[in-house]
Structure 1
Amino acid sequence: MARIRKGSVVVVGCGGVGSWAAIMLVRSGISKIRLVDFDQVTLSSLNRHATAVLADVGTPKVRSIEREIKQIARWVEVDARIDIWRKEQGGDLLEGADWVIDAIDNITTKVELLKYCHEHGIKVFSSMGAGAKSDPTRIQIADISDTMYDPLARSVRRSLRLQGVPSGIPVVYSTEVPGDVKLLPLPEEEFQRGNVKELGVFDDFRVRILPVLGPLPSIFGLNAATWILCELAGKPIANPLPTKGRKKLNERLYRDLQHREQKITGQIINKLPFDEDACGLLFDDIHRGRSAVPPHAIPSRPALVRWDPAQPLALGNCVAMEEKDADTHVKECFEGGKRPEEVWGEECAGVVSRRKEEVRRLEEWVL
């Protein structure tokens, strides 16, 4: 407990995720915390912010959290900064931090903060996107290099890798593939008033709202707080649930599909049009871990195979089957010239059609 009390944490981004992390850190014994956020409480944030109430609308988020912290433990040293983190003066806001929590939702600033911390040896824990999610069982902690399916994590991972930071940053994220959700539209009258970009606080910050289910950001924030508390106490979470526990399966699905395509085309194929993670997404999320062939059982040895011989290989033209059924599919449809519906029936074809539509909707989020 003494180690935790001596800890100093900086929370950058004090919305739904950051506010919950900050409050739980204080409740758990942290005695020094800095809150960094330029934004104000809005009506739309009341469903997820840890401390904001109706009277706080229009006031800085950091002030709302600061007020609550003082009511919980008035001896805690709170440094509330109504500011935005910028790499040009990043060191000032992070000075003295044992840990930094990144709860920023702007990808450019997020990547800059993570890179800065990595380059300067500052321990940082990052939260990925909690918006458009609803399944708490899919929330995971992993190194940024091991994240999968999460669109924000994918973008952050790629950007960091290009800038020489391939790994070494723990994150909380969700493996849930977002459903049919979009940024909430602005009322027509806002467009009639003029340039809607002027509604944003900064040029590269969105002015529309992504739907957020209230409990999810709190779970992300509590994961961040728990990780840091364990680290400060000298009891780190040594073996978090392997978020890529199915990595070997995904790799095998990819490799087997690659070999199957080589057999079909008679050519050496060095790379498929999608990666191992996409194979896992197709099997686990699109096909629910089941065969497309009735009665849609869980395959003992799953395989992916191109569905329509007349179309090129793509996620929407690839289905999950038992391996022996995939071999039959190649023999009957690619070598024998039969249509897939002739071999597997209309029910199977209907399932494949619905799965193809799901892929179409999900590609804009994940791929």
Structure 2
Amino acid sequence: MNADQFLRITRLLGEEVVENLHTKTVTIVGLGAVGGTCMESLVRSGIGQVRLVDFDIVGITNLNRQILATYETLGRKKTEVAKERIQSINPDCKVELLQMFVQEDNLDSLLENPTDLIVDAIDSLGPKCSLLQKAYEKHIPIVSSMGAALRRDPSLIRTADLMDTFGCPLAKQVRSNLRKLGVGTGIKVVFSPERVRFTYQDPQEEYDPDSSNLEQRQGRKRNILGSLPTITAIFGQTLAHIALDQILGGDLLHGEAVSNTTSKR
């Protein structure tokens, strides 16, 4: 790793912490608005290896909020675009790509390779619950994003243990499902209790400019939920921050700043 690239982080956290980050592997599941922003911050923080898991391709509706989406990347696999972006930020970061739709029957293969932390940025209830349950049972550290869509107030975004969340419909469903499966405390999440107002309609009646990609994406039609680039980016940055804090054993949020005089550079 190029030490100069991480000088600002070294001045804050110290060389030992930065070297520690260089040795860590993070698995990021979901490279949408939240997951893509989270990925970028982790790479810029010096994580040494990332495993990227996503089945989707970049669509026109992604342009309003997803860091991987540009007119040049439309129609391309998000995993491949993400790898190029990572290597343009830090060529020394190792990248593994898994082009797959996460579901219960392929989780064992996904988790068979060692990882220091999993980032869950899945936006589908079933796969999200399956991943959280499996990570919990295997004692693999995991952080997760709850619902960012339909929110407008960034001041309400917060973090908590999943079992202590409130006011978020997705978190409520996830909590309920996981409790029935024997999952307890220990999963840190980012969420917002902001009350949302949305009129649902039959997904089959939704206008979706990306509908021609459905077969490639292996996804079913769902309601198209409004979302802002500001809110989803804050969710992603917050998710990255709690991921780093967990990797560092809580030292990021509670450790003391390193004096410039202690740095070798």
TM over 0.5: yes
The corresponding residue for 1:290 is: none
Match of 2:92 among 54, 75, 94: 75
Report the Cα distance in structure 1 between the residues aligned to 2:79 and 2:205, rounded to whole angstroms.
29
2:239 maps to amino acid = A
Match of 2:141 among 104, 123, 128: 123
Q: Any idea what SS the aligned residue of 2:72 has?
A: helix
Residues 1:230 and 2:264 aligned together: no
1:37 maps to amino acid = D
Offset, 1:46: 1.1
Q: Deviations over 1:142-171 (max 9, x none)?
A: 001111010000000000011111322111
The corresponding residue for 2:220 is: 205
Matches within 5 A, 1:1-367: 1-94=18-111, 95-180=113-198, 182=200, 205-236=220-251
Report the Cα distance in structure 2 between the residues aligned to 1:45 and 1:189, rounded to whole angstroms.
15
- Check 1:43–1:136 CA distance in 2 against 1; reply closer, same or farther (3 A cut): same
Report the Cα distance in structure 2 between the residues aligned to 1:5 and 1:49, rounded to whole angstroms.
26
- Check 1:184–1:178 CA distance in 2 against 1; reply closer, same or farther (3 A cut): farther
Report the Cα distance in structure 2 between the residues aligned to 1:226 and 1:53, rounded to whole angstroms.
25
Q: Any idea what SS the aligned residue of 1:142 has?
A: strand
Q: Any idea what SS the aligned residue of 2:51 has?
A: strand
Report the Cα distance in structure 2 between the residues aligned to 1:69 and 1:186, rounded to whole angstroms.
36
Moved more, 125-134 or 230-239: 230-239
Report the Cα distance in structure 1 between the residues aligned to 2:139 and 2:235, rounded to whole angstroms.
24
Q: Please report the TM-score for the alignment, with normalisation by the length of structure 1.
A: 0.59
Q: Deviations over 1:213-233 (max 9, x none)?
A: 111111111111111212223
- Which has the larger Rg? 1
Offset, 1:75: 1.2
- Check 1:54–1:182 CA distance in 2 against 1; reply closer, same or farther (3 A cut): farther
> Would you say how many aligned residue pairs link Structure 1 and Structure 2?
233
Report the Cα distance in structure 2 between the residues aligned to 1:183 and 1:136, rounded to whole angstroms.
27
Offset, 1:91: 3.0
Q: Any idea what SS the aligned residue of 1:30 has?
A: coil
Q: Please report the TM-score for the alignment, with normalisation by the length of structure 2.
A: 0.80
- Check 1:188–1:46 CA distance in 2 against 1; reply closer, same or farther (3 A cut): closer
Report the Cα distance in structure 1 between the residues aligned to 2:71 and 2:192, rounded to whole angstroms.
30
Report the Cα distance in structure 2 between the residues aligned to 1:154 and 1:22, rounded to whole angstroms.
26
Amino-acid identity (%): 34
Q: CA RMSD in A?
A: 2.5
| Alignment check: 8 A CA contact 1:182 1:211 kept | no
Q: Deviations over 1:269-324 (max 9, x none)?
A: xxxxxxxxxxxxxxxxxxxxxxxxxxxxxxxxxxxxxxxxxxxxxxxxxxxxxxxx
Offset, 1:55: 1.7
| Alignment check: 8 A CA contact 2:59 2:69 kept | no
